[in-house]
Amino acid sequence: MKYLITIVGPTAIGKTALSIALANHFQCEIVSCDSRQFFKEMTIGTAVPNKEELQSAPHHFIQNKSIFENYTVGDYEKEALNVLEELFKNNDFAVLIGGSGLYVDAILKGFDEFPEIDASVRTTVNSNYEKLGIGYLQEQLQLLDANYFQQITKENPQTLQNPQRMMRFVEVCLGTGKPYSSFLNQKKNNRNFTPILIGLEADRAIIYERINQRVDTMLQAGLLEEAKELYPNKALNALQTVGYRELFSYFDGEFSLPFAIEEIKKNTRRFSKRQLTWFKRNEATKWFDYATDRKEIIDHIKTLLR
C-alpha cells in the first residue's frame, strides 16, 4: 500500500515545518502543490521554503517553472502524478503540501477532461476580453452556465477575477454548446495511492496575527524590491497574486505604500478564510491545532496504517 500524506490549511499556519517533520519521520520526499511557489522569479512573496528547509528533505515543484510559461493545473496534475509514481517505486510514503485547493484536488481526485475547442472560439473570447474586460467573461459565464457561476461565487469567488480560468470556462461553453459544469465529475480517476489528509488550523485571531507577522517579515526580507523587478511583467497571470498585485498598484501611483501593505495583509486574511472554506469541505481531513505536538500527528497517521 502506498500512502500520500497530504497537509492542508490556511497560509502561514505552519504547513512547511510539519511537512519536513513528517518527511523526515517517514523517510520520504515532499511534493509541493502551492501554485505560486512553482515560479522561480517569485521567492519572497510566495514564502518559498528557505535553503535550510529545502535541505532538510527533498522537495519537488519548488521554483521549477518560469512566470513566462503557460502552466495549468492540468499540466501540474500530469507532472506531479509522474513524480509520485517514481517516488512510490522506492517508498511507501510521500508528503503532499499546499494551500492551493484546486491543485490538491487535481492530485487526489483528478482533473476532468474536456473536448478540444476550436482555436477560433478561443481567439474570439480572448479578443472580447481584451476589449471589454473581466466583466464580459463574468456575464458570459452567468448566461451560459448559471449554476456553475453561482457555485464559484459562493465557494471560490476569487476565480471570478482570474481571466485565464474565466476564459477557459466561457470558451468551453461556447465551443461545445454545453455548460462547463456538465463536463465536471464525469469519471473516477484511479490513483495508485491512499491519501491521508491532515489539516492545520487555529483560532482566526491567531491566523490573522501570523499572517500580519509574515507580511512584515516579507517586507523586511525585500518584498518591495522583488515586486519592483517583476513590475514590468505585471500583466502575467502568475503575478495576479496577493502581495505583488497591491505593490504594483503602489508603483502605479494608485496606493500609498502604507495602504498597499495593509491591503496585502487584508487580502491575505481573506484568502486564508477561503482556503479554510475549501479544505473544510473534505470530511476525510483530520484537523489539528497548529501548535499540536508532532508526535500526536505522527501517532494519528500510524493508526491509519494498521
CB atoms within 10 A of CB 42: 22
Q: Determine contact, residues 159/151, Cβ cutoff 8 Å.
A: no
Q: Is the pLDDT of residue 248 over 90?
A: yes
pLDDT of amino acid 72:
82
| Alpha-carbon distance values, 255 to 245, 261, 264 (Å) | 11, 9, 12
pLDDT of amino acid 188:
62
Annotated binding site for ATP: 9-16
pLDDT of amino acid 116:
78
Task: State pTM to two decimals.
Answer: 0.80
Q: Is the dihedral of CA 271, 239, 185, 172 positive or negative?
A: positive
pLDDT of amino acid 295:
97
Domains for the chain: give ranges and CATH numbers. 3-111+189-305 (3.40.50.300), 119-183 (1.10.20)
Tens digit of pLDDT for each residue in 78-100?
999 999 999 999 999 999 998 88
Instruction: State the average pLDDT over residues 57-66.
Output: 97
Three-state secondary structure call for residue 117:
coil
Tens digit of pLDDT for each residue in 108-144?
988 667 777 888 888 899 999 999 999 999 999 999 9
- 74 band by pLDDT with thresholds 50, 70 and 90: confident
Q: Is the pLDDT higher at 290 or at 157?
A: 290
Instruction: State the average pLDDT over residues 48-52.
Output: 94
pLDDT of amino acid 187:
66
- 3 band by pLDDT with thresholds 50, 70 and 90: very high
Instruction: State the average pLDDT over residues 229-253.
Output: 94
Annotated binding site: 9-16
Largest CA distance in the chain: 59
Tens digit of pLDDT for each residue in 133-176?
999 999 999 999 999 999 999 988 889 999 989 999 999 999 88
Annotated binding site for substrate: 11-16
3-state SS, one letter per residue, for 26-43 = CCCCEEECCCCCCECCCC
